[in-house]
């Protein structure tokens, strides 16, 4: 695929006909202009004065539709080419934003083509591809703006109190059978939100989008193999900590929102996750229907597309919360209450983590456990309970914020004790890998911001957290094995690609002490979704080296620890911070 404008005869700048041909060869879809005129703006605001668009050629019109809007907007495309392939890619000028300097609830946008539901997407601050049943949508975030935490930006006459926004070209790919060749199509966007939100989507005309924007950034997302590579592995992103609104008594009584089926469906399409786990609290699950609950992971798994891990949350108020994940079918659910009830603070009625591990061993199914929000004053974790055979990973980030160390950004989401953080576990010699996930309670896996009616304390101005695994393929066994091996890392939500190695050893590895005279040589490779601000190497819980990145998107760096002592066990990991404060943490590598 051509990734620069100079691929015409003699390496000159390509003209529109050549770009069209190259786009069709690259995507397999016939390009078509996706906007000609607005037919019905619905509740959208129209901007005609000072605009926020990213493209040079613009007629100063933009239509901005809030997620809280009651009426969607509908526009007409240019005529579909008479000679078209099996699919058509409509070129669009799109923007997404938060609409406020305060965190806002999330939702989805339903795209319809000629009245037919095509695909559901969500607002993002990074490039993203969505896949529906027959359609796909690729958005390239070619312009990203972000304000300081709880700060605001004025981006246009109608975008005045913005915290984060992204603009760029998009390709909406639909079957040609949905269209009439030689005639215009209609495209509609409808907001899908359960509670009020200022988040928005924006559409603007751009008649010369092929030659005035980097359209290839969107086309590249449609390539058959979209997952980045790290050595022999692919990188897959998931959210494995979410809650539905279902309980034994029915939907709407649970800790979260939406049915279990709703949560799986959101994770697969608007959430755009590669892998997922629903982790309802054990008290939400009917003890007589645990098999049906866990088997939903099988129902929704499609190898190579979307895989799900069976799991649940062990909600222990005395010793801390842990999620449990199974490699295969046949697991079970274990309650913190000895009589199978809601969590209790009565020691005589409360099981311990050892009881949990013993019960899970009896199933005969491989499993691991992940403690989370360990320092939360409402649900603290007792680090005295630790078994490296089962406690393989530590949830370093979620909608609750960072659990790396006391005082780390971003705080203010809930009260915290000053210990129990990841650094405290490291200093105890506990060998956790790290992941992030949302702990979502709003029915929007991979995209959680708790709604106004529940859990006000876990609103956040960054993403809600995603886990990344280094795996050879997208199957449940491959994802599980990567997580269990700690061959994984955490991000605040954006798909940052991070590789941290010592020699040839990948993250999560335990190495023997190095011979006398040798020192660890750390190799870092990182590609951000926005400009990188800095990368820090952390040794035994202390920052030992900083790499300034100066806004570069990709960084490669090598560093050696000249103070290495082979007599002392040592662990290293990397923390990445972008200029928009979205971040990533690698799992540690241990030496000795």
Q: Where are the domains positioned within the chain?
A: 9-222, 229-495, 496-592
Helical H runs in 444-552?
476-484
Could you give the 3-state DSSP secondary structure of residue 511? Answer: strand
Query: What is the Cα–Cα distance from 329 to 239, expressed in whole angstroms?
Result: 20
Q: Does domain 9-222 have CATH number 2.60.120?
A: yes
pLDDT digits (tens, 9 = 90+) for 11-32: 899 898 999 999 999 999 999 9
DSSP string, 262-317: HHHHHHHTTT--SEE----BGGGS-GGGHHHHHHHHHHH-BTTTBEE--EEEEEET
Please give the pLDDT value at position 459.
83
How far CA 129 is from CA of 124, 167, 226, 273, 584, in Å, comes to 11, 15, 9, 10, 20
pLDDT at 210: 86
Q: Classify the C-alpha dihedral 110-115-119-125 as positive or negative.
A: negative
Question: Are 205 and 58 contacting, i.e. CB atoms less than 8 angstroms apart?
Answer: yes
Fold (CATH) for 229-495: TIM Barrel (3.20.20)
Q: For residue 325, what pLDDT is reported?
A: 98
Contact 205, 35 (CB under 8 A): yes
> Token match 């493209």: residue?
55
Q: What is the pLDDT of residue 412?
A: 61
Query: For 422-460, b where at least 16 C-beta lie within 10 A, e where not — what string?
Result: bbbbbeeeebbbbbbbbbbbbbbbbbbbbbeebbeebbb
pLDDT at 409: 66
pLDDT digits (tens, 9 = 90+) for 129-144: 999 999 999 999 999 9
Q: Tens digit of pLDDT for each residue in 388-402?
A: 999 999 999 999 999
Beta strands in 124-196 (DSSP E): 128-131, 136-139, 143-146, 164-175, 186-192
Domains 9-222 and 496-592 fall in the same CATH topology: no
- 582, 429, 367, 572: which is closest to 491 by C-alpha? 582
pLDDT in tens, the chain (592 residues): 557 888 878 789 989 899 999 999 999 999 999 999 999 999 999 988 877 778 776 677 899 999 999 999 999 999 999 999 999 999 999 999 999 998 899 999 999 999 999 999 999 999 999 999 999 999 999 999 999 988 999 999 999 999 999 999 999 999 999 999 999 999 999 999 989 999 999 999 887 788 888 999 999 999 877 799 999 999 999 999 999 999 988 777 788 999 999 999 999 999 999 999 999 999 999 999 999 999 999 999 999 999 999 999 999 999 999 999 999 999 999 999 999 989 999 999 999 999 999 999 999 999 999 999 999 999 999 999 999 999 999 999 999 999 999 988 666 677 899 999 999 999 999 999 999 999 999 999 999 998 877 787 788 889 999 999 999 999 999 999 999 999 999 999 999 999 999 999 999 999 999 999 999 999 999 999 999 999 999 999 999 999 999 999 999 999 999 999 999 999 999 999 999 999 999 999 999 9
Domain 496-592 - what CATH class? mainly beta
Cis amide leading into 410 (omega within 30): yes
pTM: 0.97
């Amino acid at each position: 695929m051509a990734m620069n404008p100079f691929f015409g005869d003699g390496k000159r700048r390509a003209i529109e006909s050549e770009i069209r041909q190259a786009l069709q060869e690259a995507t397999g879809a016939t390009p078509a202009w996706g906007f000609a005129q607005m037919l019905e703006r619905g509740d959208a605001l129209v901007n005609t004065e000072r605009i926020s668009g990213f493209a040079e050629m613009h007629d100063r019109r933009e239509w901005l539709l809030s997620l809280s809007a009651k009426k969607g907007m509908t526009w007409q495309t240019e005529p579909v080419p008479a000679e078209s392939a099996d699919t058509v890619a409509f070129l669009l000028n799109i923007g997404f934003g938060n609409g406020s300097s305060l965190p806002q609830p999330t939702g989805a946008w339903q795209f319809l083509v000629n009245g037919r539901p095509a695909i559901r997407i969500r607002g993002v601050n990074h490039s993203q591809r969505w896949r529906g049943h027959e359609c796909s949508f690729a958005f390239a975030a070619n312009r990203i703006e972000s304000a300081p935490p709880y700060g605001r930006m004025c981006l246009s006459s109608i975008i005045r109190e913005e915290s984060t926004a992204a603009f760029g070209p998009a390709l909406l790919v639909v079957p040609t059978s949905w269209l009439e060749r030689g005639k215009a199509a209609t495209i509609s966007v409808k907001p899908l939100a359960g509670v009020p939100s200022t988040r928005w989507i924006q559409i603007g005309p751009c008649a010369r989008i092929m030659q005035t924007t980097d359209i290839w950034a969107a086309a590249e997302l449609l390539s058959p193999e979209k997952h980045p590579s790290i050595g022999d592995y692919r990188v897959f992103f998931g959210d494995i900590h979410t809650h539905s609104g279902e309980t034994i008594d029915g939907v709407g009584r649970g800790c979260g929102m939406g049915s279990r089926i709703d949560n799986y469906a959101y994770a697969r399409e608007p959430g755009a996750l590669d892998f997922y786990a629903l982790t309802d609290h054990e008290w939400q699950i009917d003890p007589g229907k645990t098999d049906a609950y866990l088997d939903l992971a099988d129902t929704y798994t499609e190898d190579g597309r979307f895989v799900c891990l069976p799991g649940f949350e062990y909600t222990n108020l005395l010793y801390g919360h842990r999620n449990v994940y199974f490699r295969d079918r046949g697991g079970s659910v274990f309650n913190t209450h000895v009589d199978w009830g809601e969590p209790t603070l009565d020691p005589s009625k409360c099981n311990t983590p050892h009881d949990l591990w013993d019960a899970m061993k009896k199933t005969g199914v491989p499993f691991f456990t992940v403690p989370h929000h360990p320092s939360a004053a409402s649900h603290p974790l007792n680090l005295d309970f630790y078994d490296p055979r089962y406690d393989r990973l530590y949830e370093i980030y979620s909608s609750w914020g960072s659990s790396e160390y006391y005082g780390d950004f971003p705080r203010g989401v809930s009260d915290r004790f000053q210990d129990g953080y990841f650094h405290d576990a490291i200093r105890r010699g506990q060998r956790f890998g790290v992941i992030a996930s949302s702990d979502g309670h709003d029915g929007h896996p991979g995209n959680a911001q708790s709604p106004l009616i529940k859990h006000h304390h876990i609103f956040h101005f960054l993403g809600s957290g995603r886990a990344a695994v280094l795996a050879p393929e997208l199957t449940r066994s491959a994802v599980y094995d990567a997580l269990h091996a700690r061959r994984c890392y955490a991000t605040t939500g954006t798909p940052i690609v991070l590789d941290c190695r010592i020699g040839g050893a990948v993250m999560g590895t335990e190495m023997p002490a190095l011979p006398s005279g040798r020192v660890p040589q750390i190799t870092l490779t990182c590609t951000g979704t926005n400009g990188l601000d800095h990368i820090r190497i952390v040794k035994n819980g202390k920052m030992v080296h900083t790499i300034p990145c100066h806004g570069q998107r990709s960084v490669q760096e090598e560093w050696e620890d000249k103070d290495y002592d082979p007599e002392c066990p040592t662990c290293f990991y990397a923390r990445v911070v972008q200029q928009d404060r979205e971040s990533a943490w690698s799992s540690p590598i241990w030496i000795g």
